Amino acid sequence: MFIKKAEKAFLKTYDSSVFEKLSVTTDLLVFSISDLKTNNYRKLSEKGMSVFLTNREQFPFKDCWSLPGGFVLPQETLEETAKRVLREKIHLDDLYLEQLYTFGEIDRDPRMRIISVAYMALVERSDLPYTLQQSDNWFNIIRGNNRILLRNENNPEIELDLTTSDVLAFDHQKIIEVGLDRLKNKIEYTDLAFHLVPNEFTLTELQNVYEAVLGKKLLAPAFRRTIKSKVVSTGNMTSGSGHRPSELYCYKSDMPSNS
């Protein structure tokens, strides 16, 4: 009781400027799976990963490609900032979102000391509005020979080589690398892959996602054995497009509880 009163008195006169405050932002790493639209580079899979970049209209790094981001406002949690950035800059709501890592190098922003809490979002392209599916902001991530290339899906002449420094604004290159590593490490022991396929998918589509994230081909029989416990047949088949019909599956926890 005495303590409570003394604490109240302490808080009333507390000088919040004793320690210098810092600017805090969130940056958004939005990944999806896409068709690899090129064949002048060693193809590991028909499908690849893509990342959503925005071209900066303002200084600093004007005209550079960057991850969408924004300042954390005093009345927002970090996740609320991340969701606001997705809404305002990409017109996206309701994505799978996880906190990735907090980047705090002293000179990462030329304006001032800015600490950035990066979030990773995973989207299934066919869930998006058509204009967003086809947007000029998607870049194929092409990995091989120890380098990572980002190639604009709609304009393959825009190609960013991440082994070269300063091809992206700020430390966004680093954030992409950390995100790719995180996803690669987590895909085998979590259910993250299911955020990257439609609700109903063929096992080949699911295998494509794992191959795109891991950056290597998998053997179908072994893949199917490891994935078996996580999926269940919907009883539906694919139709059309000249292929033999394939069985459609869904993620096991998506099934009604009486099944």
Chain residues binding a second copy by CB under 8 A are 3, 6-7, 10-11, 14, 16, 19-24, 59-63, 71-79, 99, 101-102, 104-106, 110-113, 115, 117, 185, 188-189
Closest CB 72 distance from a second copy, rounded Å: 7
- 1-39 in b/e form (b: 16+ CB < 10 A) is eeeeeeeeeeeeeeeeeeeeeeebbbbbbbbbbbebeee
Of 20 and 93, CB closest to a second copy? 20
Cα separation, 122 vs 28, whole angstroms: 10
Write out the two tokens for 147. Answer: 């380098």
Of 41 and 71, CB closest to a second copy? 71
Torsion from C-alpha of 24, 30, 31, 35, nearest 10 degrees: -150
Of 75 and 155, CB closest to a second copy? 75
Closest CB 107 distance from a second copy, rounded Å: 10
Closest CA to 89 of 58, 68, 72: 68
Closest CA to 113 of 19, 15, 14, 16: 19
Q: How far is CA 213 from the centre of its chain?
A: 11
Q: How far is CA 126 from the centre of its chain?
A: 16
Of 125 and 184, CB closest to a second copy? 184
Closest CB 73 distance from a second copy, rounded Å: 7
Closest CB 254 distance from a second copy, rounded Å: 23
Q: How far is CA 14 from the centre of its chain?
A: 40
Closest CB 247 distance from a second copy, rounded Å: 31
Closest CB 45 distance from a second copy, rounded Å: 23
CA angle 85/88/90 to nearest 5° reads: 85
Of 77 and 154, CB closest to a second copy? 77
Cα separation, 172 vs 28, whole angstroms: 10
Closest CB 61 distance from a second copy, rounded Å: 8
Of 168 and 248, CB closest to a second copy? 168
Of 21 and 244, CB closest to a second copy? 21
